[in-house]
Every structure is written in C-alpha cells, then in structure tokens.
Amino acid sequence: MIRFLWAINDAASRFVAFDGTALNAENLDSSKSSYRGARGANSDGENPRPTVSRRGIKLIASTVAAMVLWPLAQIGLIAAEAQYYADGRPYCIDVVNYHLSYRPAASLLELNGFTMRAPFVNLGGSGSHSFAQRSFHALLVIDAGGEQEWRNWSYWHEHFDSLSPEQTRAVSPACQPQVDFVRTLPLLPS
C-alpha cells in the first residue's frame, strides 16, 4: 500500500510533456523554459495551454479499464466460488429483486459487480438505526441432503460466507437447486 501511495505521489510530482520533456520544478522556471517558445508561451512566459502528460492519460485509461473489467471479473469469480462450495451437489443463486425479495439469477450478466447489490432500507428511525441492510448481494442455496445450506456473497471477502441461523430464518429461497446451476445460465438475459 505504501508503494502504491509513493507511486501516485511520484506520478503527480513529475509529468512528461508530449515531446518527452519532463515537467518539474527545474524546467518550469522561466529561465529554463526552452520548450515554451515552441509551444507558444504568452508574454508572461507561461504556457497558455496546459499540456496533458502521457502518464496522466495512462492513469485515466487504466482507471477506466479497471472500472470496466472489475464487474466482468466478478462473474467468473462468483461462478467459480459457487461451483467450489457446491462440490457437485445441486445449488442455485438468488439475486435481489427490486421489491427486496429474491429471484433466481437469470443470466451470468446478472452476477456482475455493478448489478448485484444489497440495497439499504429506510426504517423510519433516526441516527444510525434509520437505515438497515435487509438483503444480501446474492444467496447461494446448496441442497445438502435433507436440509439447505445458505451462503451470502461478500465483496469484502470475495467468497460466499455462511449465514447464521437467524439470517437463514429471515430469507426464503426463490430458486430450485440443480447440479451445475451456473453452467446452465445464458450469458445475456433473454
């Protein structure tokens, strides 16, 4: 983490102009601004147009790429974790419906990081007790013989966490467990 913060600080303190000239305190001094004449400096000796650095463009492009790829990577991770915890037993995945109930996942796209959320509900109170989380991102329901095993998807832990007995009583399954549930899902909803 410290290396990451150091790299961000280093990138912010040194930019590179399109011609490869490093923009730092030394060459921003008016006596050493040889590249400014070619760039069209104004009468004050300052560049009227800010130059965009290659590092800045790379930083923005990599941030956008991460924002696009992360939710898609979640699909594969959730599918692999569901297969792992099921261990050949019938299972299914329920996702949150807009009415704070659960419904079976209809496609792999519904398991991405942007659409799979656990909404908070206003309970009408005040302070920290006015909002509560009454649903989970996704529920993994595993048929374990005579009973069902319940697990909740956790973005923090990046796997399905076991539900407590109290949490299990508060939810009811909407899906029917089947062998290799994720492998039967289409990529896009129909």
Residue 61 belongs to some domain of the structure = no
Residue 138 belongs to some domain of the structure = yes
17 and 109 housed in the same domain: no
Highest mean pLDDT among 18-22, 24-28, 106-110: 106-110
Residue 63 belongs to some domain of the structure = no
In one letter, which amino acid is 39? R
82 and 139 housed in the same domain: yes
In one letter, which amino acid is 158? E
14 and 82 housed in the same domain: no
Q: How many domains are contained in the chain?
A: 2
Residue 30 belongs to some domain of the structure = yes
17 and 108 housed in the same domain: no
80 and 118 housed in the same domain: yes
Q: pLDDT tens-digit profile of 23-67?
A: 554 555 444 444 444 445 555 656 555 566 888 888 999 998 888
d(CA 106, CA 173): 15
Q: pLDDT tens-digit profile of 137-155?
A: 888 999 988 888 899 988 8
78 and 48 housed in the same domain: no
d(CA 17, CA 52): 7
89 and 154 housed in the same domain: yes
Which range of residues forms the domain containing residue 82? 73-124+132-184
Residue 65 belongs to some domain of the structure = no
Residue 14 belongs to some domain of the structure = yes
